[in-house]
Chains A and B, each alone.
Chain A
């Protein structure tokens, strides 16, 4: 079993839809949770960063962490064609530099 599981998609939605992207994990030591966005043939860029459980909102993006269920989510409101990319979740334990990435979910927002 992988430490981090992420549905690879692809996920296709119409413009304006609410998108939900999810990851599950097995290591209870993870304390830091991140979402990266990666456009085709580009490097990943950090989208959201959350420490421990709770919600964090930034514009159209909301990250949720439920440590009791070992489940994290990224919600995108009013999705735009420019949101079409691969979204990677990543996790890090306290006191360690090592990040563990999910395999990424490909999202396509149709105009």
Chain B
């Protein structure tokens, strides 16, 4: 049981490049979400999903896309990277009811 896994662990992008951050969970959780964590800002919700085929925007969705084709996977796409997207990105999952979130180890992204 691996829990929540994220790849890559670290990535450097140039402004304007696109990339996909991968997230997978093997706990059969219905809810999955993406957060970014910045100094002094805490964790901010980017997008979330309450089940396969269902996604919705969080607090800071601009510049990011998500899709949820399976229960296990919830990739986050950066369409055109900007320096303001330099951050640490965390994926989380929780069972229906959403009481306990389980976080992945994070992806550190640097946009030059």
The one of A88, A97, A102 in contact with B98, judged by C-beta atoms closer than 8 angstroms, is A97
A92 touches B103 (CB 8 A): no
Name B's interface SS. strand
Contact with A along B78-112 (1 / 0, CB 8 A): 00000000000010100000111111111000000
The one of A43, A98, A99 in contact with B105, judged by C-beta atoms closer than 8 angstroms, is A43
Q: Which B residues are CB-close (under 8 A) to A43?
A: 4, 90, 92, 103-106
Q: How near does chain B come to A93, taking the closest CB pair, in angstroms?
A: 11
Query: How big is the B interface, by class?
Result: 20 to 34
A44 touches B50 (CB 8 A): no
A42 touches B106 (CB 8 A): yes
B106 touches A102 (CB 8 A): no
Chain A CB within 8 A of B61 CB: no
Q: Which B residues are CB-close (under 8 A) to A45?
A: 103
A103 touches B50 (CB 8 A): no
Q: Which A residues are CB-close (under 8 A) to B104?
A: 43
Given contacts A42-B105, A43-B104, are A32 and B99 in contact (CB under 8 A)?
A: yes
Chain A CB within 8 A of B31 CB: yes
In whole angstroms, what is the CA distance A91 to B35 when docked? 15
Binding site for B on A (CB under 8 A): 4, 6, 8, 32, 41-46, 49, 88, 90, 92, 97-99, 101-104
Binding site for A on B (CB under 8 A): 4, 31, 33, 35, 40-45, 48, 50, 58, 90, 92, 98-106
